[in-house]
Structure 1
Amino acid sequence: MITKDTIQTIIETARVEEVIGDFVTLRKRGVNYVGLCPFHNEKTPSFTVSPAKGIYKCFGCGKAGNPINFVMDHEHYSYPEALRYLAKKYNIEIEEEEQTPEQLQELNEKESLYSVSAFAQKYFTDRLNNSEEGKAIGLSYFKNRDFREHTIEKFQLGYSPDSWDAFTKYALENGYKEEYLIKSGLTIDKNGKRFDRFSARVIFPIHNLSGRVIGFGGRILKSAENKPKYVNSPESDIYNKSKVLYGIYFAKSAVISKDNCYLVEGYTDVISLHQAGFENVVASSGTSLTTDQIRLIKRYTPNITILFDGDEAGLKASFRGIDMILEQGMNVKIVMFPEGEDPDSYVRNHRSIEVEEFLTGQTRDFIQFKTNILLKETKDDPVKKAGLIKEIVQTISLIPDQITRSVYIKECSVMMDIEEQTLMNELNKLLRKKFREKDKQVIPVELHDVYEFPSEQKLSINILDTYVLEKDLTRILLNYGRQKLKLNQTISDDQKEVIVENVAKFIINDLKSDGIEFSTKTYNLILQDYDSFLEKDEVLTDNYFVSHKNSSISSTATDLLLSKYYLSENWEIRERIFTKKEDDNLYDTIYRLLIRFKDKKLDQKFFEIETKLREEFDDNKRIELQKEYIEYKKISMEINRQLGRVITR
């Protein structure tokens, strides 16, 4: 594990313009650099690099971060890999932390599992190519599927002999411990008897992102009662099937270059397509698609095309899994193969050019496809059509991007012959419900497209207002946290003294004195970090947050540090506050934000008490609520008095 000191040295040494300059042509513009964004296609530069802050941001696609983030995003490296890349670039010697006995044991266990898995793969490959049984059964099976020798070698396909314990005996003879044979799942221990899990099966090794074998899939070829056609390795310290996609190691480069990933069901589908030249293909290996698998694909592309065999019932059963993909903000397309065909069989029966033409011609947008499928079932039944509308709108509501949702609403209104506004109202109802269910988290984009507000109108607007103020206060903290303020402190009626306090301390202490926290999770985490370090008389730098291990904090800090310096425009318009730039009079800007923030927090309190009063029938409890309301009203009047003073300055 790389030491914290080494990581800090890398962060302090790496120059953002130099790191990005290795991949992007940058041009000086004022104190910053600009260039064409490497993360999306553009003709006009919107990619900004700030050497002074050590960060970058694309104002087109939103990608932002520090040199480590850039290397991770651009080269698809893990955090440790990115650190090692930068250390090599800047000739920084990497110091590794001395590991505890427990950490060493865990590391050794994992390495032992990798070792025995690699040994097993070589054994199965050898049995496939160099044993009479393997050639007669396993190799002939692969060749009957038109797998070429190079393909068999590339995917490290193999064969496990038709024997109770041939592999287990051979592994033990070669010094591998029974403990790891069992933990890896290669050997099964039942009532003290050991036998091979993959006996009499062709073998499909499963690789991780770096190409190491972590597990296996095995297909039985002879008919056998009470035996499944396919078996897979059980989960272990190196194999978590919900986080792995078959073929991802061989596909990732093609997925990046094609900006699309084909998702299929089985091992042979992956291999056949790959061999035919469609290398951007992976499989979920017979498991239901998981969020981790979707995110794994999203590391390389936001576009996914799912290939289904000609079974409409199977497609409908997969709708929930596809909804999960949409929820991750990905673009989903569908290809349905002719009845009786699957990707493997279609590729074997057609030339590559024909497969390409088929995939291009048959690719359909998922939501449009789903709408058409369900419309067939509704016919002229109004009850079924109402159910269809709710299901389609529910699917659209999962899409994070507001514009994409609006486009789908417009298209589906035509397809379903229903007014666009009706669909939009249903969508907004679902978005508000989802918003309320998010515990103390605000997603303003979910409110921006709400056309109608029922009884919760006042609360919804206040939540948005509060979010805007929390964002502004956090931006002030990040940009001016260490800057000094001169404050007048009253000692007595006729005596005042000037004290000097940094911005971070002033804001934190003011909020703490009223017991107020931010509602937005990421902003509150930043607030807590400032507070914990202030207790040690330290003020955090912006670089601390840009390089934060929490990616949400890191990306938020980067975004806010590159935001324009302004008090949000909606405040100037709605509240009739007209200011110069905030840093012309920083104290007034901060004071105004804090007072407004408290005012909006009070509005939320009033709403909560009013709601309780409507629902409470116990007289004593109602009296207590009314007393609480009156106390808050006194505070509100004082805030209004202060607001009046600030506004007229």
Structure 2
Amino acid sequence: MIKLESIEELNRIVDITDIIGLHLELIKSGSHYKAICPFHDEKTPSLVITPIKNLYYCFGCGAHGNVFHFLMEYEKLTFQEAVEKVARFYHFSLQYTQQRNPVLKSDYLERMTFFFMQCLQNSPKVLEYVENRYIAQSSQERFMLGYAPSASEIMQFIYKENIPVAELFKLGFLGEDKGRFYPRFVQRLIFPITSSRGEIVGFGGRRLQEEGQIAKYINSPQTPLFNKSKLLYAYSVAREAILQKKRVIVTEGYIDVILLHQAGFNNAVATLGTSLTKEHLPLLSRGEPRILLAYDGDKAGRAAAFRAAKLLTHKDGGVVLFKDGVDPADMVAQKRIEEIKSILENFTPFILFLMQEILASHNLKNPIEKRKALEECEEILRDLPPILQEEYSLFLSHTLQIPQRAIRLKNNKKRVKAIHLSEPKDPVLANILKMIIQDIALLDSLLEYVDTPVFQGYEEEFELLKQNNLEAAPILKIMLDEQIVGMDKANLKKQVCMILDRYYRKQLVEVAHQKTLSSERRSFLLDKIRLKLQELQKGELPQYESFSTF
């Protein structure tokens, strides 16, 4: 975690126009700047940037914040990623609460990458293999392709460069057998794998012989930096194009990605030899792009697409399958670029693809099989919004030749009702939180009288304050929100009394209707709550106590 003092120091040297100006055309307007807001459609500039305060505000859509919030929203970064990006721009060294070892991330694996890149350029036969796969020199450099030579050559380089073998072992680059270290990647084409920020965290390796008993592809093992269930190959290279085009192409292979980029599809990424997982979704969903699964049309590809589509039923996008044993890389090599464009445009929406696959897997002439197919499709439709349920149940009714009323779906009314009944956030709570943020020392004195359940709607924010995490985005959002006014200390006790009065009255109702309590226990608790309320009416703050768990 980045130290708050370090963020504050960085803030003092930042000029918000430097960063926003990299992405938008700024127009000087007095002491402010204006720009076309990137967060909603407009023709007249309504985004106002105030350099003196280092803040921006859009009078069209209400988007607002500081330079970090802008990058978080515009590039879909986490708060820490945004701070680190600004720090890199200003060549500012950040301090961390638990100081990270920068060598561990950016030096050792980087040095091995450059070694592999040199080995590739000095290996004519391997270069010939790469060129026969139609990978251009520019792509070799962009994706940092390399070649891992013999084990002895790799270890010789490591010892010559004084790279600690223990660190390379921790990073998954070296294996260990009976006390001896050995390189995991030997005589393979190397694909460096980066984090979403572009830091090298591991490698993928492809064998050079088409036939052989060794695995065709291998990846780095799981390490603190490398988790193949969260990483996407080439995401850091494709991120800007994904955000601009509002679509991402997910393929199954590294070479597919490289050749798609080479052909102009620079928003392509790939999973790392594994199916798409739930853990991929936060990264894949940044910027809310249309997600296109571009998989092989064979049995394995269809199965992988089916598993992935089940995770994406609430996302925009769909599935395209490349048939006849031809993958995207083959089509690029054959210069069938327009055909790829057409295939990607004519995707099958995720829900429709799932239903088509289910129906195709059953003999619909058999009533029992037909019933099974219907039940499997119903299971998919049940979690969808009503409008989608209606649309796809019509398709199912037509395809199975059954009445639409025969399709049994859960009623969404309960879920909708629950949403409408949720209580709006209380501005008084927000004002108290802002005051605590401005003077965190107040929290210690308040914790005797309040705790997280009192701050209904702001539970996450209050927990973050208890952890002294003032750099979290929800906290910064309150701090920068000009509509949350805060309050002076003279008013604080009165406001806390007010929210506690409301809190304990709610507790009074809950306990009174708690059927599992004995009458004696209920009377005892009700008396205790009434004493709390009496103290509040006198203007005194009672010690905090929760009664909802009794």
Report the TM range for the smaller structure's normalisation.
0.7 to 0.9
Equivalent residue for 2:117, pick from 122, 144, 154: 122
> Partner of 1:303 in structure 2?
290
User: 1 CA distance for matches of 2:56 and 2:212?
Assistant: 61
Q: Kindly indicate whether the alpha-carbon contact (under 8 Å) linking 1:121 and 1:205 is maintained by their aligned counterparts in 2.
A: no
Paired residue secondary structure (1:274): helix
Q: Kindly indicate whether the alpha-carbon contact (under 8 Å) linking 1:602 and 1:636 is maintained by their aligned counterparts in 2.
A: no
Tell me the alpha carbon deviations over residues 480-538 of structure 1, each in whole angstroms, 9 at most, x when there is no partner. Answer: 7899xxxxxxxxxxxxxxxxxx9x989x96x9547773364744633884x899xxxxx
User: 2 CA distance for matches of 1:255 and 1:586?
Assistant: 47
One-letter code aligned to 1:279: N
1:278 positional shift: 0.9
1:477 and 2:427 aligned: no
> Partner of 1:517 in structure 2?
453
Equivalent residue for 1:340, pick from 325, 330, 333: 325
Paired residue secondary structure (2:273): coil
> Partner of 1:551 in structure 2?
473
Return closer, same or farther for 1:373/1:61 CA change in 2, 3 Å cut-off: farther
User: 1 CA distance for matches of 2:56 and 2:408?
Assistant: 39
Equivalent residue for 2:138, pick from 121, 141, 150: 150
User: 1 CA distance for matches of 2:76 and 2:475?
Assistant: 20
Return closer, same or farther for 1:63/1:372 CA change in 2, 3 Å cut-off: farther
1:591 positional shift: 7.0
Q: Kindly indicate whether the alpha-carbon contact (under 8 Å) linking 2:437 and 2:479 is maintained by their aligned counterparts in 1.
A: no
1:217 positional shift: 1.7
> Partner of 1:168 in structure 2?
155
> Partner of 2:389 in structure 1?
409
> Partner of 2:316 in structure 1?
331
Q: Kindly indicate whether the alpha-carbon contact (under 8 Å) linking 1:471 and 1:523 is maintained by their aligned counterparts in 2.
A: no
User: 1 CA distance for matches of 2:182 and 2:450?
Assistant: 67
1:250 and 2:221 aligned: no
User: 2 CA distance for matches of 1:624 and 1:515?
Assistant: 27
Return closer, same or farther for 1:627/1:305 CA change in 2, 3 Å cut-off: same
Summarize the alignment of residues 226-375 of structure 1 with structure 2, pairs less than 5 Å apart. Answer: 226-236=213-223, 238-311=225-298, 314-325=301-312, 330-360=315-345, 362-375=346-359
Return closer, same or farther for 1:182/1:520 CA change in 2, 3 Å cut-off: same
> Partner of 1:74 in structure 2?
74
Paired residue secondary structure (1:304): strand
One-letter code aligned to 2:429: T
Summarize the alignment of residues 473-622 of structure 1 with structure 2, pairs less than 5 Å apart. Answer: 473-477=428-432, 513=449, 517-518=453-454, 520=456, 522-523=458-459, 525-526=461-462, 529=465, 548-555=470-477, 558=480, 561-562=482-483, 595-607=501-513, 609-610=514-515, 612=516, 622=518
Tell me the alpha carbon deviations over residues 343-387 of structure 1, each in whole angstroms, 9 at most, x when there is no partner. Answer: 223333452122212221x22221232233334456453454234
1:114 positional shift: 2.7
Summarize the alignment of residues 80-99 of structure 1 with structure 2, pairs less than 5 Å apart. Answer: 80-84=83-87
Paired residue secondary structure (2:139): helix
Return closer, same or farther for 1:598/1:212 CA change in 2, 3 Å cut-off: closer
Return closer, same or farther for 1:177/1:16 CA change in 2, 3 Å cut-off: closer
Higher helix proportion: 1
Tell me the alpha carbon deviations over residues 48-90 of structure 1, each in whole angstroms, 9 at most, x when there is no partner. Answer: 76889865455877754323221444366723434426857xx
> Partner of 1:113 in structure 2?
108
Q: Kindly indicate whether the alpha-carbon contact (under 8 Å) linking 2:34 and 2:47 is maintained by their aligned counterparts in 1.
A: yes
> Partner of 2:377 in structure 1?
388
> Partner of 2:206 in structure 1?
219
1:390 positional shift: 2.2
1:309 positional shift: 1.2
User: 1 CA distance for matches of 2:21 and 2:151?
Assistant: 59
User: 2 CA distance for matches of 1:57 and 1:263?
Assistant: 35
> Partner of 1:453 in structure 2?
none
> Partner of 1:401 in structure 2?
none
One-letter code aligned to 1:335: V
Gaps of 5+ in 2: 398-402, 539-550
1:310 positional shift: 0.9
Q: Kindly indicate whether the alpha-carbon contact (under 8 Å) linking 1:28 and 1:34 is maintained by their aligned counterparts in 2.
A: yes
Q: Kindly indicate whether the alpha-carbon contact (under 8 Å) linking 1:307 and 1:334 is maintained by their aligned counterparts in 2.
A: yes
Paired residue secondary structure (1:386): helix
> Partner of 1:8 in structure 2?
8
User: 1 CA distance for matches of 2:505 and 2:32?
Assistant: 38
Gaps of 5+ in 1: 89-93, 130-134, 397-404, 432-444, 450-460, 484-501, 534-544, 566-584, 614-621, 643-649
Equivalent residue for 1:139, pick from 80, 104, 127: 127
Return closer, same or farther for 1:85/1:603 CA change in 2, 3 Å cut-off: farther
1:420 positional shift: 9.4
Return closer, same or farther for 1:169/1:224 CA change in 2, 3 Å cut-off: farther
Summarize the alignment of residues 183-198 of structure 1 with structure 2, pairs less than 5 Å apart. Answer: 183-192=170-179, 195-198=182-185
Q: Kindly indicate whether the alpha-carbon contact (under 8 Å) linking 2:455 and 2:462 is maintained by their aligned counterparts in 1.
A: no
Return closer, same or farther for 1:258/1:218 CA change in 2, 3 Å cut-off: same
RMSD in angstroms over aligned alpha carbons?
A: 4.8
> Partner of 1:489 in structure 2?
none
Return closer, same or farther for 1:597/1:60 CA change in 2, 3 Å cut-off: farther
> Partner of 1:579 in structure 2?
none
> Partner of 2:418 in structure 1?
447
User: 2 CA distance for matches of 1:532 and 1:256?
Assistant: 33
Return closer, same or farther for 1:287/1:155 CA change in 2, 3 Å cut-off: same
User: 2 CA distance for matches of 1:563 and 1:368?
Assistant: 45
Q: Kindly indicate whether the alpha-carbon contact (under 8 Å) linking 1:112 and 1:180 is maintained by their aligned counterparts in 2.
A: no
With structure 1 as the length reference, what TM-score do the two structures score? 0.65
1:286 positional shift: 0.6
User: 2 CA distance for matches of 1:110 and 1:86?
Assistant: 19
1:284 positional shift: 1.0
One-letter code aligned to 2:139: T
Return closer, same or farther for 1:199/1:446 CA change in 2, 3 Å cut-off: farther
User: 2 CA distance for matches of 1:448 and 1:6?
Assistant: 40
Paired residue secondary structure (1:250): helix
1:268 positional shift: 1.4
Return closer, same or farther for 1:631/1:391 CA change in 2, 3 Å cut-off: farther
Return closer, same or farther for 1:11/1:336 CA change in 2, 3 Å cut-off: same
> Partner of 1:39 in structure 2?
39
Return closer, same or farther for 1:15/1:156 CA change in 2, 3 Å cut-off: closer
